[in-house]
């Protein structure tokens, strides 16, 4: 069975065609600059040269048409016709409080995705366009929506409600939703399987550390807390996002810099985080680590602030779950940056965490247990694979 996974952004669209018989990637690619001049599609097939189509993509509909064109291309393609694609799985940012699980797309599902445009203004419209483009290009094929927010739906009200007047929750459903849900769900379940954690001892903290970073606490694969909130801005310090700050900062900046709330939020989303603390040096942790090693004080401040905020959140989740059975690192930084894992874990000696330093230093982008046999909490690196998680849900729900 072949599943096409679509991750549509406002001006980009990533895709993967996965053979679910062995869960391998048959082809993948990226459409860039949709709706902007200079759009192009880059199509990658393992063992072959990249195939680039430079053609105007005024809409997501056109982008999907080009994806199918690349997939069936006589020279660069991987299938004889689109008929070989059995189902399509879509990453959808926001499902509001309606969907606690992935779901096969019908008119009701599309209505809810539309109703959540307010909550995910950049992503939900693009996600819906991706779905409608696939419906038009592959009529009759099942589409499944996999929501980034559904993992957070198992939180108890005391964990998801903000302590603000009830009417705002009732009217607008302002609450903690959490994001990176597909990754947290996948990695927490993979941790349970890989570590063979016994029933009743499946308290897992997942540190998804990438350009965007979030931490989750889950018991038996069900989230009990997660660090992102109504939007992905809340939580730990990130690449360009501030993470949690005193909301009064927004009003202060509006007043003193004569900015609108929208403009301040753009600054907090795109010009803050380690990028800002490093004096706009970079949001990329490889650049920052190099600069820190060369004695750059601002790069050190940025990385220290990141280490501080992540270890603080992990400590909070140890309290939330009265301990943990496993802590797992994932995401570009979590999977690759051994020094960052070391410094975050060095704050957890109080909880009996002991790291096999040599093992930790050798692990880049692959599964491993990096704690010592006598560590009170086992520590893992497990690469995330959101596309595979989406494809698995698609197979489960499409037919
Ligand atoms: P996204 O949130 O966009 O999916 P990723 O999970 O790909 O991001 O993570 C990107 C981050 O991972 C970048 O800051 C990058 O510097 C960092 N990263 C990737 N590889 C390494 C590495 N070998 N060492 C340190 N950081 C790395």
Q: What per-residue confidence (pLDDT) applies to 231?
A: 93
Q: What per-residue confidence (pLDDT) applies to 122?
A: 84
| 213 token code pair | 């970073």
| CA 260–ligand 1 middle distance (angstroms) | 32
Q: How far apart are CA 229 and CA 149, in angstroms?
A: 10
Where in the sequence numbering do the catalytic residues fall?
148
Q: Quick one: how far is CA 197 from the chain centroid? A: 24
> What residue's CA is closest to ligand 1, atom 22?
336
| CA 333–ligand 1 middle distance (angstroms) | 5
pLDDT digits (tens, 9 = 90+) for 245-261: 999 999 999 999 999 99
Q: What per-residue confidence (pLDDT) applies to 305?
A: 98
Q: What per-residue confidence (pLDDT) applies to 350?
A: 96
Q: How far apart are CA 150 and CA 97, in angstroms?
A: 8
Q: Is 183 in the pocket of ligand 1 (CB under 6 A)?
A: no
Nearest to 273 by CA among 295, 296, 298: 298
Q: Is 383 in the pocket of ligand 1 (CB under 6 A)?
A: no
Q: What per-residue confidence (pLDDT) applies to 10?
A: 86
* Phi, psi for residue 212 in degrees, rounded to 5: -100, 140
> What residue's CA is closest to ligand 1, atom 13?
284
The model carries a pTM of 0.94
Provide the sign of the torsion angle of the four alpha carbons 42, 45, 49, 53, taken in this order.
negative
Q: Which residues contact 335 (CB under 8 A, 6 or more apart)?
A: 329, 364, 365, 366, 381, 383, 384
Q: Which residue intervals of the chain are DSSP H helices?
A: 60-72, 107-115, 124-137, 157-160, 166-172, 181-195, 248-257, 261-270, 273-277, 285-293, 297-320, 331-336, 338-345, 357-362, 386-398
| 359 token code pair | 């093992």
Quick one: which atom of ligand 1 is closest to the CA of 209? 6
Q: Is 285 in the pocket of ligand 1 (CB under 6 A)?
A: yes
The segments of the chain whose pLDDT lies below 70 read none
| CA 210–ligand 1 middle distance (angstroms) | 5
Q: What per-residue confidence (pLDDT) applies to 125?
A: 94
| CA 239–ligand 1 middle distance (angstroms) | 9
Quick one: which atom of ligand 1 is closest to the CA of 239? 14
């Amino acid at each position: 069975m072949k599943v096409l996974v679509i991750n549509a952004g406002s001006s980009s669209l990533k895709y993967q065609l996965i053979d679910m018989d062995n869960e391998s990637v048959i082809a993948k690619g990226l459409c860039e600059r949709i709706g902007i001049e200079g759009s192009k599609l880059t199509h990658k097939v393992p063992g072959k040269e990249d195939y680039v189509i430079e053609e105007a993509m005024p809409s997501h509909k056109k982008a999907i048409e080009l994806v199918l064109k690349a997939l069936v291309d006589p020279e660069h393609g991987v299938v004889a016709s689109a008929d070989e694609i059995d189902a399509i799985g879509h990453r959808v940012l926001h499902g509001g409080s309606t969907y606690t699980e992935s779901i096969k797309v019908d008119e009701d599902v599309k209505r809810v995705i539309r109703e959540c445009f307010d909550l995910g203004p950049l992503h939900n419209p693009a996600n819906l366009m991706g779905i409608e483009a696939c419906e038009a290009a592959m009529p009759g094929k099942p589409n499944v929506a996999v929501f980034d927010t559904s993992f957070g739906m198992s939180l108890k009200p005391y964990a998801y409600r903000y302590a603000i007047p009830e009417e705002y929750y009732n009217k607008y459903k302002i609450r903690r939703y959490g994001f990176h849900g597909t990754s947290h769900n996948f990695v927490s379940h993979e941790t349970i399987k890989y570590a063979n954690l016994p029933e009743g001892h499946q308290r897992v903290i997942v540190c998804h550390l990438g350009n965007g970073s979030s931490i989750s606490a889950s018991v038996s694969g069900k989230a009990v807390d997660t660090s992102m909130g109504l939007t992905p801005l809340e939580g730990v310090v990130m690449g360009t996002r501030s993470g949690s700050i005193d909301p009064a900062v927004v009003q202060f900046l509006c007043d003193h810099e004569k900015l609108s709330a929208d403009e301040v939020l753009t600054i907090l989303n795109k010009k803050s985080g380690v990028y800002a603390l490093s004096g706009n040096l970079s949001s990329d942790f490889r650049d920052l680590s190099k600069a820190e090693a060369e004695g750059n004080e601002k790069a050190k401040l940025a990385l220290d602030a990141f280490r501080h905020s992540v270890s603080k959140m992990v400590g909070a989740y140890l309290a939330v779950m009265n301990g943990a059975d496993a802590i797992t690192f994932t995401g570009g930084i979590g999977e690759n940056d051994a020094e960052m894992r070391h410094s975050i874990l060095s704050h957890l000696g109080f909880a009996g965490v002991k790291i096999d330093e040599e093992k930790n230093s050798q692990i880049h982008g692959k599964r491993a247990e990096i704690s010592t046999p006598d560590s009170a909490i086992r520590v893992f690196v497990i690469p995330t694979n959101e596309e595979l998680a989406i494809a698995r849900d698609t197979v489960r729900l499409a037919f």
